Chains A and B, each alone.
Chain A
Amino acid sequence: DQQVKQNSPSLSVQEGRISILNCDYTNSMFDYFLWYKKYPAEGPTFLISISSIKDKNEDGRFTVFLNKSAKHLSLHIVPSQPGDSAVYFCAASDQGGSEKLVFGKGTKLTVNP
């Protein structure tokens, strides 16, 4: 039973345009969400997070939106750069329970020059 789903295995965008990566979750107990970026042969790198008390969090070119009623979150990257090409993982945790992160399977983003 996959509690965090990233339904697009890959996404290709042009440099300078917006990249939108999507994530859905099923567990209504999740109240903290994170995005990680992963390059080959490296560990995941934390990008941005959002608590369920917010619906938007912004950090530079990265913005995460949370729609609790739809159990959906998205990561917007504007403008996209070739260095953003990586696998992006969505993760969730239940702050009232275990501190473990539940990850989606990832979306491979390719930003073309």
Chain B
Amino acid sequence: DSGVTQTPKHLITATGQRVTLRCSPRSGDLSVYWYQQSLDQGLQFLIQYYNGEERAKGNILERFSAQQFPDLHSELNLSSLELGDSALYFCASSVVGRGNEQFFGPGTRLTVL
């Protein structure tokens, strides 16, 4: 158990809909990262928050957004969903700074029908 929690574990929805994925980092970790793993792909970095502020952005679609709250939990919002958004979404957290390993949650499997 990494100490990172994600809810829900599974999500099935229809095209055009909007969903929210939730992540609670390990106690004491200030940085939260979101990654997407599609079929046959490695994990792709989406976005990072550090202590409530956006720190880095990857190839995140404009239909996706995220935020980190004062209690440090984070939410990833996916809107106008398309079939191609079906994937595993992982949240990770780390203490702070560079050179630290990131600890991953169990992921949310999103299926768009």
Contact = CB atoms under 8 A, between A and B. Distances in A.
- Are both chains from one complex? yes
B42 A4 contact: yes
B105 to A, nearest CB: 5
A93 B98 contact: yes
Contacts of B66: none
Contacts of A36: 104
A105 B39 CA distance: 10
Contacts of A51: 99
A45 B104 contact: yes
Interface string A17-50: 0000000000000001010100001111110010
Nearest to B107: A43
Contacts of A7: none
Given A42-B106, A46-B101, A105 B48 contact: no
A45 B101 contact: no
A95 interface: yes
Interface string B25-42: 000000101010000111
B2 interface: yes
A89 B43 contact: yes
Interface of B: 2, 4, 6, 31, 33, 35, 40-45, 48, 55-56, 58, 90, 92, 94, 97-99, 101-107
